[in-house]
A and B are shown apart, each in its own frame.
Chain A
Amino acid sequence: MPAAPRERAPIGFLALAGLAAAFFVLPLVGLVVRTPWASALADLSAPAVIDALRLSMITSLGATAISVVLGVPLAWVYARVEFPGKLVLRALTTLPMVLPPVVGGIALLVAFGRRGVFGEPLFDLFGLRLPFSTAGVIVAETFVAMPFLVLTVEAALRSMDRRYEDAARTLGASRVRVFRTVTLPLVGPAIGAGMVLCWARALGEFGATITFAGNFRGETQTLPLAAYLALEQNVDTAVLLGLTLLGISLVVLVALRDRYLRAV
């Protein structure tokens, strides 16, 4: 990246920017200051914490995988295909980004719950039930997180130079081959960035998860749920769990910053 030309910022502007930065940094400082470092290791290796950490990893990675498999094609359709009702459909599928997650969880319950509109036939026919299961956690996280990936990839598909695809087509490559050998590599960084955003959102998911999937250790109790319930019993544990989530997310975001997030 070429170095940005130095600019003299107006003082007032700098002050506001500093205030904005402080607004995000101060709560994190609070967490670090209040962390009971002395008992940190013991608290973090408690079986309930290990279970929550393991479950959070499984479900957030699962949600990210599903989001890639389903979300990249959806982004491609949004970027390349015109059809009636596209605007509305696109709005509907990005709604979870602004919807309160608890509302998302209620919607999932009435749709896919055991007595849900679609959940009841699924349960009667296949005995499949999502609430109170790890699969339900993955569904809730996917619901809330996939839009981040779809929007990121769609933006990249729209802004890429389509002449490469056209050239490949005129040279006789099939649509599938063009997608695989030209389109995918070009939007690869955006897919990576979308995956990171999607994973980070899934990892932090709370409202939809506790509403739709419930809360049970080892089955549906992810780190955010464990942190919330720990707050009622032991603030130290809650702070520590919060810091753990923070640490994981920060490491990943910083590590991937240069590789992927630039594409956003």
Chain B
Amino acid sequence: MRGVGTILLAVQVAACGGAAPLGPAAPAAAGRPLSGTVTVLAAASLTDAFNVLGTEFTRVNPQVTVKASYAASSALVAQIVQGAEADVFASADEPSMRRLVDARLSESSPRIIASNKLQIAVGAGNPKKISALADLARPDVVVVLGAPTVPVGAYATQVFDKAGVRVAPKSHEADVKAVVSKVSLGEADAGIVYGTDVRAGGAKVQGVDIPDQHNVIARYPIAAVKGSKNAKAAAAFIDFVASPRGLDVIAGFGFLRP
């Protein structure tokens, strides 16, 4: 296991908690170009947005390699706490980020970069005619959810509680992409996922809106991981993600602005 470094770096992040008003992917202001590898662990729902962000960042900082890995935020934070090498963590929920902060493994205070509403994912053409949360309680509707330990599963529980609907899911999937794939393969009739995942799911899935009073807004925090071997580049990457250009890219994938 890796000993967690205790090097304190004097990277001051301006405007914590909000979008920093920095130029788009400004190459290192201090003159020396950034280099090395930035390992980014990001929530599965951020996959497409962060692939684009990584490419754009390396275009401006050609000597930096961005290595991104996507999974359930809860799984990623568990990996970091167990000593996985990571420079940046982007979470789909605040509790997972809180675990990083509580473990004293966050270098900077987390900044919110996006938010996301939940939707009901159904098969193309909505064969089971699902129009509301109450339909998910119908016995002829096969529902899969994220596991309660995974952010999207915890959010689904909150949504059902708010709406007063009791649902008996057939499976608790390990992350939100697995829920979408079960719906797009037709194994499940419905699942609760992020609106962005419905968009990313292509032609085989479509979304049914959940009314605002029952919906949960998922907020996505990002933070640098303490002990990073490449703290400068990690901070620059976070600045880029939180810059107006970065937020535009993220919003382009259907996320709500922070």
B174 in complex: contacting residue of A131, A220, A228, A235, CB < 8 Å: A228
Contact between B78 and A232 (Cβ–Cβ < 8 Å)? Answer: yes
Interface residues of chain B: helix, strand, loop or mixed (majority): loop
Q: Which residue of B lies closest to A231 (CB)?
A: B78
B147 an interface residue at 8 Å Cβ cutoff? yes
Output the residue of A115, A216, A219 with the most chain B CB within 10 A.
A216
The segment from A106-114, A177-185, A192-200 that touches chain B is: A106-114
A218-235 interface with B by 8 A CB criterion:
219-221, 228-233, 235
A200-223 interface with B by 8 A CB criterion:
210-211, 214-217, 219-221
Contact between A233 and B149 (Cβ–Cβ < 8 Å)? Answer: yes
Interface residues of chain A: helix, strand, loop or mixed (majority): loop
B176-193 interface with A by 8 A CB criterion:
178, 182, 185-187
Output the residue of A110, A113, A229, A231 with the most chain B CB within 10 A.
A229
Q: Which residue of B lies closest to A131 (CB)?
A: B187
CA separation between A215 and B82, bound complex, in Å? 24
B231 CB, nearest partner CB in chain A, Å? 26
Chain A residues within an 8 Å CB radius of B169:
216
Chain A residues within an 8 Å CB radius of B81:
235
A198 CB, nearest partner CB in chain B, Å? 26
With A215-B172, A216-B169, A216-B172 in contact, is A232–B149 under 8 Å at CB? yes
CA separation between A207 and B74, bound complex, in Å? 19
Chain A residues within an 8 Å CB radius of B142:
132
CA separation between A220 and B144, bound complex, in Å? 13
Chain A residues within an 8 Å CB radius of B187:
109, 113-115, 131-132
Chain A residues within an 8 Å CB radius of B170:
132, 214, 216, 219
Contact between A235 and B186 (Cβ–Cβ < 8 Å)? Answer: no
Chain B residues within an 8 Å CB radius of A109:
185, 187
Chain B residues within an 8 Å CB radius of A235:
78, 81-82
CA separation between A149 and B112, bound complex, in Å? 53
CA separation between A220 and B171, bound complex, in Å? 8
CA separation between A214 and B142, bound complex, in Å? 12
Q: Which residue of B lies closest to A228 (CB)?
A: B174
With A114-B186, A214-B182 in contact, is A229–B174 under 8 Å at CB? yes
Contact between B74 and A232 (Cβ–Cβ < 8 Å)? Answer: yes
CA separation between A110 and B82, bound complex, in Å? 36
Contact between A115 and B186 (Cβ–Cβ < 8 Å)? Answer: yes
B118 CB, nearest partner CB in chain A, Å? 20
What 0/1 readout, one digit per residue, does chain A (90-131) give for beta carbons within 8 Å of chain B? 000000000000000000011001110000000000000001
Q: Which residue of B lies closest to A120 (CB)?
A: B186
Contact between A110 and B172 (Cβ–Cβ < 8 Å)? Answer: no
With A132-B142, A214-B182 in contact, is A231–B75 under 8 Å at CB? yes
Contact between A214 and B149 (Cβ–Cβ < 8 Å)? Answer: no
Chain A residues within an 8 Å CB radius of B172:
214-217, 221, 229
CA separation between A211 and B173, bound complex, in Å? 9
Q: Which residue of B lies closest to A210 (CB)?
A: B174
CA separation between A221 and B172, bound complex, in Å? 9
Contact between B74 and A215 (Cβ–Cβ < 8 Å)? Answer: no
Contact between B144 and A233 (Cβ–Cβ < 8 Å)? Answer: no
B150 an interface residue at 8 Å Cβ cutoff? yes
CA separation between A132 and B185, bound complex, in Å? 13
B42 an interface residue at 8 Å Cβ cutoff? no
A23 CB, nearest partner CB in chain B, Å? 16
Contact between A232 and B185 (Cβ–Cβ < 8 Å)? Answer: no
- Show 25 residue pairs from A and B whose CB-CB distance is below 8 angstroms, ordered by the A residue: A109-B185, A109-B187, A110-B185, A113-B185, A115-B185, A115-B186, A132-B144, A132-B171, A210-B173, A210-B178, A214-B171, A214-B173, A215-B147, A215-B172, A215-B174, A217-B172, A219-B170, A221-B172, A228-B174, A229-B149, A232-B72, A232-B78, A232-B147, A232-B150, A235-B82
Which A positions have Cβ atoms within 8 angstroms of B? Answer: 109-110, 113-115, 131-132, 210-211, 214-217, 219-221, 228-233, 235
Give the 5 A-B CB pairs with smallest separation, nearest first. Answer: A214-B171, A115-B186, A232-B74, A132-B170, A233-B149
Which B positions have Cβ atoms within 8 angstroms of A? Answer: 72, 74-75, 78, 81-82, 142, 144, 147, 149-150, 169-174, 178, 182, 185-187
